[in-house]
Amino acid sequence: MVEFKNHVAIVTGAARGIGEATAWAFARRGATAVIVDINGEGAEKVANDIREKGFNAIAYTADVADVKAVDALVEDVFKKYGRIDILVNNAYISGGYAIVTETSQETWDKVIAVNLTGSFNFARACAAKMIPKRYGKIINISSGAGTNGSLSSGVQYPASKAGIIGLTLGLAGDLAPFGINVNCITPGLIRTWEPEEMAKQATGWTLEKVKSYINVEVPLKRVGEPEDIAETVVFLASKGASYIVGEVINVDGGGILDSVAKRESLLGF
């Protein structure tokens, strides 16, 4: 098993879902998991659960969009542990679905602030601690919506997620000379909710649509699990991935193939 003994791994949006699974994946491998979330109670619970199993974790309540809070948090982590080895930018909001003409300025600003500016805030603050050590791993969580679009997420969510890919490329070129690997993951549909809950939460998705998406559009014929993403994050943070820089890795059970097939059929292939 890949080990991260003595490493400090910050994971944003880690009170649940993919972030929680990622925090566990690092903690199990010997790292101290720094659980950051706007949901302080949830963050504390995850950190407590991890510690109860004998691993290391600490929780922070913070809004990733609040640059002062992010800078103070990163300073505090660095003061406590003297290092920040890994950053996973995972926190997000969707803003829900509305046609562009009904999308409020507030929704647009908020989603870009949390998803994109929040990732920039953490990357900038952590890079300042990683550069002097000539070591670091930054993994940004984008989405298939950022590369292929999405018919159920409005304009703000795909825009923010495409922005995260651009942010990854900019950071990757900037930071590689300092021994810092920056990469990105584009997940497909991941079970952070049960299908019934997913159908309730995601605008325009009925239970039937969720099931047919999984059965028809995902060649692997299963929904992704948070651990599918967590394990890819772990790989990107590992020694085995040390020559990978500025890469965007699709983890979607082959869902991308369906989009390609649809585009080809539209073009008459």
Ligand X SMILES: NC(=O)c1ccc[n+]([C@@H]2O[C@H](COP(=O)([O-])OP(=O)(O)OC[C@H]3O[C@@H](n4cnc5c(N)ncnc54)[C@H](O)[C@@H]3O)[C@@H](O)[C@H]2O)c1
The kind and range of the H/E element at 37 are: strand 32-37
DSSP string covering 135-161: -EEEEEE--THHHH--SSSTTHHHHHH
> Which ranges in 100-250 belong to alpha helices (H)?
105-111, 118-130, 145-148, 156-175, 195-201, 207-212, 226-237
Residue located via tokens 């998803």: 115
Q: Per DSSP, what are the bridge partners of residue 141?
A: 185
Interhelix angle for 226-237 vs 17-28, to 10°?
50
Least gap, CB of 267 to ligand X (angstroms): 26
CA dist., res. 62 & res. 39, Å (int): 8
Applying CB under 6 A, the residues found at the interface with ligand X are 12-13, 15-19, 37-39, 42, 63-65, 90-93, 114, 141, 143, 187, 189-190, 192
Distance in Å, CB of 153 to ligand X, minimum? 9
CB 107 within 8 A of CB 53: no
> Would you call 97 a catalytic residue per the annotation?
no
Closer CB to ligand X, 130 or 230, in the complex: 230
Cβ atoms within 10 Å, residue 51: 15
17/219 with CB nearer ligand X? 17
For residue 93, the minimal CB distance to ligand X (Å) is: 5
Shorter beta-carbon distance to ligand X: residue 90 or 156 = 90
Distance of closest approach, residue 157 Cβ to ligand X, in angstroms: 7
DSSP for residue 252: S
Identify which of residues 56 and 90 has a Cβ nearer to ligand X in the complex: 90
Convert 39-50 to b/e letters by CB count within 10 Å (16 or more is b). eeebbbbbbebb
**142 phi/psi in degrees, rounded to 5:** -95, -135
C-beta of residue 83 within 8 angstroms of C-beta of residue 48: no
Residue whose CB is less far from ligand X, 21 or 130: 21
For residue 104, the minimal CB distance to ligand X (Å) is: 18
Q: Which is nearer to ligand X, 49 or 135 (CB)?
A: 49
Which residue in the shown chain puts its C-beta closest to ligand X? 17
Q: Which of 60, 92, 97, 157 is catalytic?
A: 157
| Min CB(67)–ligand X separation in Å | 12
Q: Which of 91, 98, 117, 125 is nearest to 12 (CA)?
A: 91
Tokens 């920056």, residue located: 182
As annotated, the active-site residues are 157
